[in-house]
Amino acid sequence: MATPLTANAFLSALRAEGLTVVEVGDWRNHNRNHVGPWGPVHGVMIHHTVTSGSTATVNLCRDGRPDLPGPLCHGVITKDGRVHLVGYGRANHAGPGDPDVLQAVIDEGPLPPANEATEDGNARFYGFECENLGDGEDPWPAVQLEAVERAAAAVCRAHGWGAASVIGHLEWKPQKIDPRGFTMADMRARIAGHLGLRHAEVNGVILSDDEAARRQWDEAARSLPEVRALRDEVRHLTTKIDDLRSLVEQALTTRR
């Protein structure tokens, strides 16, 4: 649980990750705060827009549609990898979603399938809309995926969250399919690696390549629900093996 970053802190966090940020209009004060809460925040949500062309995409995300007033997110990530800030505060991007998913995000644990839509996601998530048709064929340029990774990592770093705090809209709400064209598991692994690498760099300690790689791996492992689940399993098995060993020792003692 966290208080949302100020607009300036949000902007600084994005720039600190090396992103090209475009400020659109009075983005700091363009929001839906008059209709509901913004915060406490727990994570970052990634979307695709089903649009093409950066100008049309940015305008739509800023202004919204007749049935859904803007802003439709905080940052729009266009195909050229730029992040366009269109609003700040409550935004119409997440909609109602699954409270069990929210709890998993808070715990940074494994995500259950989204099968409810009762929790107000617009109050709880930062949102990035990414320019893509979402048809599974429209390509995702490397520079755009890199920007998704950095933008999500920026917010995580600012809040002290791991990559498990980043979800796709499809993981939040039944029937949603976005983002389509890459998997959120892959993106979380990238974000975790990014957070780990920067962490090793900013510590001010000179690390050997092996040490830096090990730290990066550890960071990634800590952040990924899949790895954490596996570690729990290993711990459980280790306990079982210890129990077996005691049983065998007891048996041997009895025999003697």
Which residues bind to Zn ion, rule: CB under 5 A?
47, 169, 178
In the complex, the smallest distance separating the C-beta of residue 169 from Zn ion, rounded to whole angstroms, is 3
> Smallest distance from the beta carbon of 61 to Zn ion, in angstroms?
11
Least distance from C-beta 174 to Zn ion, angstroms? 13
Closer to Zn ion by CB, 92 or 165: give it. 92
User: Closest approach of Cβ 47 to Zn ion, in Å?
Assistant: 3
Q: Rank residues 173 and 190 by Cβ distance to Zn ion and give the closer one.
A: 173
Which residue do the tokens 């990592």 mark? 153
8 Å CB contact between 19 and 78: no
Q: Which is nearer to Zn ion, 155 or 220 (CB)?
A: 155
Report the residue number, 27 or 128, with the smaller CB distance to Zn ion: 128
Query: Residue 168 or residue 193: which is nearer to Zn ion going by CB?
Result: 168
Shortest CB 190 distance to Zn ion, Å = 20
